[in-house]
Amino acid sequence: MTGLEFVLATQLMTADVPSDYSGILNRLENPIEIILSECNGQKQTAAFLSTGESTVDIASALIGSEFSDQVGPGQVGLESHWEQKIFKRLSFPRHWETEGIERPNVAAKTHCLALIKKLFAEYQLIPSNILPSIEEGIGIRYDNSAAWEDRSMLIEVYNDLDIALIVTDNIGKETIYREDVREMNFNHAVEVYQNNRG
């Protein structure tokens, strides 16, 4: 099971769901994540994150019709999580402000979100962290700990919408690739990050 599917299995154990959920889970081709939340202090509802099939259809089938009205398209999802992180929960160190460092502007935030969605859609990459950058913009970190590889990809989207990227080898503690990204083209960088090249 992938990490995300494991989260689904454990969280479902606590939900009041039909027992045939595994059959529904097997239909899903893409990794999904389930978030359980309280609804009116009563039973728990489940929101499903899926890049493939209809979120509402899956939720309705899994939870049952009494919960289906609590779930709607676009309510909860990986994308929603990223939106919240970037547009609402991006904390900015106070001392940076006193040092005259500009906060990330909304153009950089919008660009950052588009970049994250693109990397997820094309390469199934999920960022491990999203933080403001001291260089005035937003930093996005990807960590690849698959098997014996230990590489990170750090992307910065600046307030002037330039994008810079480095890939680091965390075992050898060195930067093994750097690029000023043009036209949102990450092909080569991702190949290096996933150790398919160089």
Partner 1 sequence: MATSIPEKSVFVAIGAWNPAIIQPGWLRAEFPQIIPDQKITVHFNAGPASYALVMDLGKFLLDPNGGRLVFVPKVLDEETLLQIQALSKGIYKKLAHTPVSAAGSNFVFRLDSGEDFAIEEILECAGSQKTYAEIGFKKCIRQSVQHSFSFEDYNLNITFLKAESDKTIQLNYDYPSPVDSVVKAADALRENYRHALTLCDKFIRRRS
| CA–CA gap between residue 29 and residue 53 (Å, rounded) | 8
113 lies in the binding site for partner 1 (CB under 8 A): yes
How far are the Cα atoms of 21, 87, 130 from residue 105, in angstroms, in the given order? 43, 10, 15
| CA–CA gap between residue 198 and residue 194 (Å, rounded) | 10
* Minimum CB distance to partner 1 smaller for 8 or for 76: 76
Residues 115-154 that bind partner 1 (CB under 8 A): none
Structural contact between residues 47 and 38, judged by C-beta atoms closer than 8 angstroms = no
Q: Which stretch binds partner 1 (CB under 8 A): 8-16, 18-26, 107-115, 165-173?
A: 107-115
Selected binder of partner 1 within 5, 57, 83, 169 (CB under 8 A): 83
What SS3 class is residue 33?
strand
Q: Which stretch binds partner 1 (CB under 8 A): 102-110, 118-126, 143-151, 181-189?
A: 102-110
Nearest to 184 by CA among 154, 163, 160: 163
Q: How far is the CB of 83 from partner 1 (least distance, A)?
A: 5
Nearest to 130 by CA among 180, 184, 91, 171: 91
Selected binder of partner 1 within 50, 133, 159, 168 (CB under 8 A): 159
Q: How far is the CB of 130 from partner 1 (least distance, A)?
A: 14
94 lies in the binding site for partner 1 (CB under 8 A): no
What SS3 class is residue 150?
coil
Q: How many residues interact with partner 1 (rule CB under 8 A)?
A: 18
64 lies in the binding site for partner 1 (CB under 8 A): no
104 lies in the binding site for partner 1 (CB under 8 A): yes
Q: Which stretch binds partner 1 (CB under 8 A): 3-11, 32-40, 101-109, 181-189?
A: 101-109
Q: How far is it between the farthest Cα atoms of the chain?
A: 57
Selected binder of partner 1 within 68, 110, 194, 195 (CB under 8 A): 110
Nearest to 129 by CA among 110, 155, 108: 155
